[in-house]
Amino acid sequence: MGSNNIPQSYYDKARQVVPPATGVTLSADSTYGVTQKNPVCVGDKTNPKSRNVFSFLNTLRGPQGQEISYRRMGSCCPFKTPNGIANGMAVLNAYEVTWINNPKPMVVYINNYDEGPMSTPFGLILAKP
């Protein structure tokens, strides 16, 4: 996985200023978002890709409604897509998601290039509006 040298304060600021996404549903699929083969697709040609990622992550809460914290771990997992930037290829971004009293961080895989219905990774819930 690629490295990430962005300070946590960058992600903390995104949690404060980027509004949560709308239309996100709860997933019953235990692989959704937490496996490389079944990433969350947040691509949208009308918004900057990082804003879509932050907007999606800002909808998530821990299993009991705990506020989450996240940070990008890096890129991984090359795949083919017509929306890719180099010869139809793209990579996933992996984010570490944590919350209070969570003994093990969750890794969420995000596809910034393709659109798809967005759901919570299994075990997480939606922030209350």
DSSP 44-108: -TTS-HHHHHHHHHTTEE-TTSPBEEEEEEEEEEEEE-TT-SBTTEEEEEEEEEEETT-SSPEEE
Distances (CA, A) of 102 to 7, 16, 109: 21, 22, 19
Give bridge partners of residue 40 from the DSSP assignment: 110
How big is the chain, counted in residues? 129
Please report the pLDDT score of residue 1 as a whole number. Answer: 57
pLDDT by 10-residue block (mean), the chain, 129 residues: 74 91 94 97 73 94 95 93 87 95 94 92 91
Please report the pLDDT score of residue 69 as a whole number. Answer: 95
| Closest listed residue to residue 79, CA positions, set 66, 64, 92 | 92
Please report the pLDDT score of residue 120 as a whole number. Answer: 96
Torsion of CA 23, 51, 62, 78, to 10 degrees: 100
Please report the pLDDT score of residue 91 as a whole number. Answer: 92
Please report where in the chains the tokens 């939606």 appear, as a residue: 126
Angle at 96 between CA 51 and CA 111, to 5 degrees: 50
Please report the pLDDT score of residue 29 as a whole number. Answer: 95
Please report the pLDDT score of residue 99 as a whole number. Answer: 96
